[in-house]
């Protein structure tokens, strides 16, 4: 694994952990009334997706348990359709998908040498 891959994986991990912290003690309805929360979650997911686009193909293949196309696709939707974000999908992504990504990255990062 290249040093640049480890750095990008760390960016993904940090942004995912931040997003998880933003929703502690929140519920889905919070997104309807808290624009700052929505924007913070969107930015975190954008960072995760942008970092994912910079991971080498070799690393992506080695870490095939991570859903790279989904992560990058979500980033693209947020960047290009920022005016029409489905809050249900945003909530589902943060509450259902990010915990698994965090778990996978926690397994990978301790063994990755910079």
pLDDT digits (tens, 9 = 90+) for 28-54: 999 999 999 999 999 999 999 999 999
Q: Which domain holds residue 80?
A: 3-23+31-108
Nearest one of 107, 94, 95, 112 to 66, comparing CA atoms: 107
Kindly state the helix (H) or strand (E) to which residue 56 belongs, with its residue range.
none
Looking at the 3D structure of the chain, how many domains does it have?
Answer: 1
Q: Annotated catalytic, 11?
A: no
Q: How many other C-beta atoms lie within 10 A of the C-beta of residue 43?
A: 15
In a domain, 96, yes or no: yes
Question: What is the Cα–Cα distance from 32 to 16, expressed in whole angstroms?
Answer: 21
Q: Annotated catalytic, 80?
A: yes
pTM of the predicted model as reported, rounded to 2 decimal places? 0.90
In a domain, 59, yes or no: yes
Catalytic residue among 8, 35, 75, 77: 75
Catalytic residue among 8, 10, 35, 80: 80
Give me the pLDDT at residue 71, please.
96
In a domain, 114, yes or no: no
Give me the pLDDT at residue 21, please.
97
Give me the pLDDT at residue 111, please.
65
């Amino acid at each position: 694994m290249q040093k640049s891959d480890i750095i990008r994986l760390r960016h993904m991990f940090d942004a995912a952990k931040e997003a998880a912290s933003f929703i502690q003690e929140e519920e889905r309805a919070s997104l309807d009334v808290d624009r700052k929360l929505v924007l913070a979650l969107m930015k975190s997911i954008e960072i995760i997706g942008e970092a994912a686009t910079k991971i080498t193909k070799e690393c992506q293949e080695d870490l095939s348990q991570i859903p790279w196309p989904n992560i990058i696709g979500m980033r693209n939707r947020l960047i290009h359709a920022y005016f029409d974000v489905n809050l249900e999908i945003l909530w589902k992504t943060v509450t259902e998908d990010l915990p698994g990504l965090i778990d996978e990255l926690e397994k990978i990062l301790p063994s990755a040498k910079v």
